[in-house]
Structure 1
Amino acid sequence: MSKVVVFDELGGPEVLHVVEEGPLAPSAGEVRVRIEAFALNPLDTMLRTGALPVPVRLPNARTGVEATGVVDALGPGVGTLSVGDPVIVTAVPDSDVRGVAAEYTNLPSSSLVRRPAGLEVAEAAAVWVGFSTAYGVLVAVADLREGDSVLVTGASGSVGRAAVQVAARVGARPIAITRDPAKTDALRAAGADAVVVAGRDDLAEAVRSHTAQTGADVVLDLVRGPGQRELLAAARTGGLLVEAGFLDPRPTPAPADDRVRIVGYRGFDHLGDPDVVARMASFLEEGVAAGGLRPVVERVFDLDHVVDAYRLLESRRHSGGKIVVTI
């Protein structure tokens, strides 16, 4: 039998509970994965509370979009993986049916990449969403180059920290924004060329001082909301701002001019492209081997305490590192 985290109604973490189901044989093109650990994401909360504009198939809906595990069985037509291979899950668009918060789950083989050597299980569970988002925004969309300056909001969070590391790895100059001055040293250690403390420093002035008065070439906005005006002011004329987050629920005002190009980023648009995923996986593997890419795992729970894990995620009382549940 397989332990599976499910919910029968929309609501807070308390609606989650663990049931036992028989593992299913994988269909053609599918792989059954024995999950070793999964990481929690805001997307899980949004699905479970009904905040996403998608139907949730209740009751017995599953959850979880980020995990690592070992190939347990192969369906017909899968020739790129073998039983026993350690893998990372790259995409679960139907997580209410195939959610990875379970001992076993069946996924298309295209949703898996080999786990980079050198990562602990908890790290491997927590690495993909942050680094694939950072790569997608900075490399696939912004075409970040060596020497470019990139302003990263929410830099203390998992995606922001990954973006700092990705930018540093391509030779760009990341400028990290944080609200906590105590995190300055950690962000510099992650590769930040400079750190701006929101609410204390004048953002536009600080960025200009680090970019020879021109402003940032690229801005990664993981927050949105009214603060985006300051980010636009800190960008150079002709620069690019990529919206890839929603940490501030307040409306984002319309830009005052078109001095800076603004584009949105949706991860699933890129995760459906096998060529892009292959480049992401190669970049991640090389970065992990070189020591420049590493997720921050804040706390690890076991499956019996999955509700407590989600309560911590949704309390916003954690430092921004990933919360992982092991099985």
Structure 2
Amino acid sequence: MAGVVQYTEFGGPEVLEFVEVATPEPGDGEVLLEVRAAGVNPIDAKLRAGLRASTPITTPRRVGSDASGVVAAVGPGVEGWAVGDEVIASGVRGAYATHAIVAASGLTRKPTAISWAQAAALGVPAGTAYQSLKSLGVGQGTTLLVHAASGAVGQAAVQFARAWGATVIGTAGPANQDRLRQLGAIPVEYGPGLAERVRAIAPQGVDRVLDAAGTDEAIAASLELVADPQQVGTIVRGADAPGWGIRAWSGGSATPLTAEEKAWRHEAVGVAAELAARGAFDIEIARSLPLEQAAEAHRLLAGGKVRGKIVLLP
């Protein structure tokens, strides 16, 4: 038997329930993953609450897309993976589980130097940050502004950009300024006068902006600081992006990712994992909770006071 977290109606964290089901079997091109840790992402909660478009619920719906674990069985047509391999899994159909089915194309080898929790924390944040910066053309000599830089995506973006030779300015509250300094960013507090504070730090100007905050203030400051709105990208306000002329990836955007952008998101996991194994990429774990406490994990996420990743441990 396998344990899974699921819900049968949209609603608050209380709709999540832990149940036992038959252990699934992998199909063509799939593996069965024995989950060691599952990453909790904001999109999980938005889907659970019905805040993101999805099909009507007709059967129990499982939660989560990021996990780490051990390959327990291999389906037909799978090459390059074997039972016992330690992996990072992205695009999981229900990562909040003791066992889950994963497409072999969504697997990345887990370095032994990083923990199961760290590995499970990489998928969505690292993939989103890496792809967004690649799409914006961030590189050597670029001055990048990251809104909500102390969040999971923001921290990943800061570290990728710094590794590529960019100067990074990151917005955060007073309690998270030191964290941004640790990661190599120049911190700036959000709030009234944000654009002026950024100009004081970078009088030469800002080349690119990644918005992971989604506030009107962040968007307004971004448009004030760059000459071309196409140099601003959001991962939160995708539905509104066309009205501002800025770019968007996910966040409710009606524009799907390109094949290249999807490839970058997958590539990011291995890049971040190898950097982390060498001590060059820090993965901050805020809380680790038992799988059965998925509802509490979502309550903590909604509280907005947790910095870093929350992970669930079967």
User: TM-score scaled by structure 1?
Assistant: 0.87
Q: Write out aligned runs for 1:168-179 (5 A).
A: 168-178=162-172
SS in 1 for 2:28: coil
Aligned-pair distance for 1:72? 0.7
Matched, 1:307 2:295: yes
Aligned-pair distance for 1:315? 2.4
Structure 1's 275 and 80: CA in aligned 2 closer, same or farther, altered over 3 A? farther
Which deviates more, 153-162 or 267-276?
A: 267-276
The aligned counterpart of 1:258 is none
The aligned counterpart of 1:244 is 235
Matched, 1:102 2:89: no
Matched, 1:322 2:309: yes
Within the candidate set 121, 133, 136, 2:131 is matched to: 136
**Over residues 195-254 of structure 1, what are the superposed CA-to-partner deviations in whole Å (9 max), with x where a residue is unaligned?**
111126x3223322333x23211100112342111121122458700111249x9x7794
Matched, 1:127 2:115: no
- Structure 2 CA distance for aligned equivalents of residues 109 and 272 of structure 1: 19
The aligned counterpart of 1:181 is 174
Paired positions, count = 309
- Structure 1 CA distance for aligned equivalents of residues 48 and 79 of structure 2: 35
Structure 1's 174 and 32: CA in aligned 2 closer, same or farther, altered over 3 A? same
SS in 2 for 1:216: coil
Residue 215 of structure 1 contacts residue 236 of structure 1 at CA under 8 Å; is this kept in 2? Answer: no
Structure 1's 304 and 225: CA in aligned 2 closer, same or farther, altered over 3 A? closer
Matched, 1:113 2:108: yes
Partner AA of 2:290 in structure 1:
D
Aligned-pair distance for 1:156? 1.5
Residue 29 of structure 2 contacts residue 78 of structure 2 at CA under 8 Å; is this kept in 1? Answer: yes
User: TM-score scaled by structure 2?
Assistant: 0.90
Structure 1's 90 and 273: CA in aligned 2 closer, same or farther, altered over 3 A? farther
The aligned counterpart of 2:190 is 198
Structure 1's 4 and 208: CA in aligned 2 closer, same or farther, altered over 3 A? same
Residue 243 of structure 1 contacts residue 264 of structure 1 at CA under 8 Å; is this kept in 2? Answer: yes
The aligned counterpart of 1:63 is 63
Residue 47 of structure 1 contacts residue 56 of structure 1 at CA under 8 Å; is this kept in 2? Answer: no
Structure 1's 285 and 226: CA in aligned 2 closer, same or farther, altered over 3 A? closer
- Structure 1 CA distance for aligned equivalents of residues 90 and 249 of structure 2: 17
**RMSD, aligned CA:** 2.4
The aligned counterpart of 1:30 is 30
The aligned counterpart of 1:215 is 205
Structure 1's 146 and 300: CA in aligned 2 closer, same or farther, altered over 3 A? same
Within the candidate set 247, 261, 280, 1:263 is matched to: 247
Matched, 1:52 2:43: no
Q: Which consecutive unaligned segments of at least 5 residues does structure 1 have?
A: 93-97, 256-260
Which deviates more, 100-109 or 282-291?
A: 282-291
SS in 2 for 1:313: helix
Residue 31 of structure 2 contacts residue 75 of structure 2 at CA under 8 Å; is this kept in 1? Answer: yes
Residue 109 of structure 2 contacts residue 270 of structure 2 at CA under 8 Å; is this kept in 1? Answer: no
**Over residues 280-317 of structure 1, what are the superposed CA-to-partner deviations in whole Å (9 max), with x where a residue is unaligned?**
2442233213322122111111123222222211222x
- Structure 2 CA distance for aligned equivalents of residues 324 and 271 of structure 1: 29
Aligned-pair distance for 1:134? 0.8
Residue 9 of structure 2 contacts residue 57 of structure 2 at CA under 8 Å; is this kept in 1? Answer: no
Q: Which consecutive unaligned segments of at least 5 residues does structure 2 have?
A: none
Counting aligned pairs with the same residue, the percent is 35
Aligned-pair distance for 1:128? 1.7
